């Protein structure tokens, strides 16, 4: 099975992912003194001289010896001891970063991936059929920018043979990968020769988010008494908002069915839906999973009161994943700017035909365009991304290529009159909700309108910069490719909005037990100095290049600190929660033990509240530029996620390939009348990359052998 994991890059095997996890060190609590010093460094370029002096005084009071900061640090260490073997952060992060949010999941929290097309598809639609309604524009925007050709979507164009067979092949390959994980055949992930935490791989299949008032819950696969994970025998398919149970294993023998058996089930389900009268259709309950969490939680609780509905919801939870077959196509065929909307929230009917609570929702449109929509709370993007990469690569491998004249193998007969085994009857495998009253129908309509509004405000597309890529940056310029893209993003933002903003970059903390992510504060004083010099005509290229190298050095150091558990943002969160949650408990315990004094004086409380309520603190963690590097591969051609909703904000999921750089950009067009300028940002990003390369070539002497320096 090692061929399925070519992007893990080694052949070392471990018998048990949980053994690897237990062998790792626990996430450390950084030094209070170092965190506060790095915090001041990070806010300095965002503040005026007077503002920085004010914040410095607040930080000094908070961090003084025997001061309130040290008290909170002690509470945090005590909490850490109580959480073993888990980390001090794990429970809090899952709750506060994800499960307690009441915002709609799609597209605000879930992320989306788009995989490479089949090089030899058949039966696809490349232009509107005769008498078909015209193309629907996305967001009333031209996705190729003000001067580009129009792209759009065709809605209600039915289903195709290539789509069905490609979907079945995706189901087959992903189950091969799932089995290799569960059978402990998966190669170890390594970072600099050392194993890293892999427990997230055990949650990719079968995990479901359950809506609850105030804070959601997660249902993850059972480890079967600590032994071996057992997959469910089925998945769930969504076809025009109708939900079907699709068998992947024989119910009784647990032997895998062949790909042709899965194809036949999908065909039967589609035929059933196409003939289904309106009064026998199930309402689009699935839309509710994308909307406001408390509203969905209220309806979910009501649905559970009906035994039939409770069984349906249980089957969705138990399914290995969801697969959505859409009756849409995006045109022109092959346009990544158009096709990524299929994966984001459905190309024509936002968040219909999806189940947003399921961690893994694979998507295939009428032309076989292959996408993925992921619920983010239990797992970060790497493990699902690698699974999608390898699925796409295996899917397009010659031995797996789908040919119209070659039928897929089957083991079972369907609806045959001779008494052979029947495993699929659309009428019984159709998971139709019962007792859906007018109140629920109204909530579905409200949610659909809510999601459509969010979708119309969100502009996202693919930008591929083809001037150069990681090879030139690393091998010729001898620079960090990640730092190059991050600094270019800062220069692009400044050129777009004439200001600087706090910037988030994802860092992995998976070298630690249960580690997930921390924040790299990518905007620094050194970056600000470089950007100002680039925009100042009085600056020399030598000075600009010196500042560029300084910015890169600082960025690489900050990346190293974050990956080693020395990032500041998770630590600052822990200190705040120590005050909000642990201090009241500590105060009660001391009172119960007849301690007369409050562990914090009134002055100490004011210092703490001044620290966390300081405008500089709020500004420094308001991420108007949210960035994350995606795994470079030929399998995944687009990755995207939404910015955090602030004005002039962008989500930037970038992929650094050998000869190009791909950006999955997202921004808002109507936030308080001050939306993102995503097309300008795209243009300025490309120009920033070229300007930085020319600077390196002119001053750093980093030309490729065939470059004529006299023409620079």
Domains with residue ranges and CATH for the chain:
32-86+569-618 (1.10.275.20), 158-301+320-433 (3.30.559.70), 459-566+623-705 (3.30.559.10)
pLDDT at position 130: 83
pLDDT at position 170: 98
pLDDT at position 645: 66
pLDDT at position 412: 67
pLDDT at position 700: 74
pLDDT at position 423: 59
pLDDT at position 252: 80
**Which segments of the chain have a pLDDT < 70?**
1-19, 134, 136-151, 223-229, 412-423, 589-597, 645, 670-674, 702-712
pLDDT at position 193: 80
Phi, psi dihedrals of residue 428, rounded to the nearest 5°: -95, -25
Which pTM does this prediction carry? 0.92
- Rounded Cα distance between 69 and 544, Å, is 39
DSSP 8-state symbol, 504: E
Q: What six digits make up the tokens of 205?
A: 């299949």
Instruction: Return all residues near 105 (Cβ < 8 A) that are at least 6 apart.
Output: 209, 289, 290, 293, 356, 357, 375
Q: How many Cβ atoms from other residues are within 10 Å of residue 647's Cβ?
A: 14
Instruction: Based on the residue annotation, tell me whether 376 is a catalytic residue of this protein.
Output: yes
pLDDT at position 52: 98
Instruction: Return all residues near 544 (Cβ < 8 A) that are at least 6 apart.
Output: 530, 533, 534, 695, 699
pLDDT at position 674: 67
pLDDT at position 537: 96
Among the listed residues 376, 397, 638, 684, the single catalytic one is: 376
pLDDT at position 707: 43
pLDDT at position 593: 64
pLDDT at position 705: 46
Q: Residue 460 in 3-state DSSP?
A: strand
- Rounded Cα distance between 406 and 618, Å, is 61
């Amino acid at each position: 099975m090692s061929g399925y994991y070519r992007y893990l890059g080694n052949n070392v095997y471990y018998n048990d992912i949980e053994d690897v996890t237990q062998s790792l060190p626990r996430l450390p609590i950084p030094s209070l003194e170092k965190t506060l010093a790095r915090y001041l460094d990070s806010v300095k370029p965002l503040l005026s001289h007077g503002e920085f002096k004010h914040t410095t005084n607040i930080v000094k009071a908070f961090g003084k010896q025997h001061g309130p900061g040290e008290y909170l640090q002690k509470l945090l260490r005590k909490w850490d001891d109580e959480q073993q073997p888990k980390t001090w952060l794990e429970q809090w992060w899952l709750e506060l970063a994800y499960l307690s949010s009441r915002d709609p999941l799609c597209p605000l929290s879930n992320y989306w991936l788009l995989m490479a097309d089949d090089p030899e598809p058949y039966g696809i639609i490349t232009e509107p059929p005769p008498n078909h309604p015209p193309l629907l524009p996305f967001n009333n925007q031209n996705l190729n920018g003000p001067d580009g050709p129009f792209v759009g979507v065709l809605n209600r164009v039915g289903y195709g043979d290539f789509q069905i067979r490609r979907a079945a092949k995706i189901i087959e390959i992903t189950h091969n990968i799932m089995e290799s994980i569960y059978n402990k055949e998966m190669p170890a992930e390594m970072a600099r020769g050392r194993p890293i935490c892999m427990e997230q791989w055990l949650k990719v299949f079968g995990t479901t988010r359950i809506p609850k008032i105030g804070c959601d819950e997660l249902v993850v696969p059972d480890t079967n008494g600590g032994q071996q994970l057992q997959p469910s025998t089925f998945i769930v398919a969504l076809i025009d908002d109708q939900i079907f149970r699709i068998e992947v294993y024989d119910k009784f023998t647990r032997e895998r069915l062949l790909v042709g058996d899965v194809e036949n089930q999908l065909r039967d389900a589609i035929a059933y839906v196409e003939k289904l009268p309106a009064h026998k259709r199930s309402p689009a309950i699935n839309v509710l999973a994308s909307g406001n969490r408390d509203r969905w939680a209220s309806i979910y609780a009501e649905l559970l009161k009906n035994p039939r509905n409770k069984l349906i919801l249980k089957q969705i939870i138990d399914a290995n994943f969801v697969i959505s077959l859409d009756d849409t196509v995006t045109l022109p065929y092959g346009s990544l700017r158009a096709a990524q909307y299929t994966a984001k929230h459905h190309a024509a009917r936002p968040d219909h035909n999806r189940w947003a609570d399921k961690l893994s929702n694979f998507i295939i449109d009428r032309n076989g365009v292959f996408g993925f929509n992921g619920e983010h709370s239990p797992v970060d993007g790497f493990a699902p991304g690698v699974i999608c990469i390898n699925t796409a690569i295996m899917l397009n491998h010659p031995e797996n290529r789908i040919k119209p004249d070659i039928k897929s193998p089957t083991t079972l007969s369907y609806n045959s009159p001779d008494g052979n085994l029947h495993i699929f009857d659309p009428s019984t495998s159709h998971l139709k909700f019962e007792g859906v009253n007018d109140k629920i129908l109204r909530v579905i309509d409200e949610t659909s309108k809510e999601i459509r509004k969010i979708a119309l405000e969100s502009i996202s597309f693919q930008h591929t910069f083809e001037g150069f890529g990681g090879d030139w940056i690393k091998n010729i310029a001898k620079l960090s490719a990640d730092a190059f893209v991050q600094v270019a993003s800062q220069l692009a933002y400044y050129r777009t909005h004439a200001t600087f903003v706090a910037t988030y970059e994802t860092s992995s903390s998976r070298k630690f037990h249960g580690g997930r992510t921390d924040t790299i504060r990518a905007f620094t004083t050194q970056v600000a100095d470089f950007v100002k010099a680039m925009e100042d005509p009085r600056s020399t290229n030598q000075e600009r290049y010196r500042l560029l190298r300084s910015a890169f050095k600082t960025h690489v150091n900050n990346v190293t600190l974050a990956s080693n558990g020395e990032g500041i943002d998770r630590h600052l969160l822990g200190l705040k929660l120590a005050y909000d949650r642990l201090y009241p408990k500590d105060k009660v315990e001391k009172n119960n033990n007849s301690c007369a004094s409050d562990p914090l004086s009134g002055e100490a409380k004011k210092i703490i509240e001044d620290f966390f309520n300081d405008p500089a603190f709020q500004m420094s963690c308001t991420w108007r530029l949210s960035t994350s590097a995606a795994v470079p591969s030929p399998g995944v051609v687009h990755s995207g996620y939404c910015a955090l909703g602030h004005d002039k904000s962008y989500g930037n999921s970038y992929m650094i390939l050998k000869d190009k750089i791909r950006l999955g950009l997202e921004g808002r067009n109507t936030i308080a009348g001050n939306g993102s300028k995503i097309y300008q940002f795209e243009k300025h990003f490309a120009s920033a990359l070229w300007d930085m390369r020319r600077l390196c070539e002119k001053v750093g002497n980093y030309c490729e052998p065939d470059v004529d320096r006299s023409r620079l």
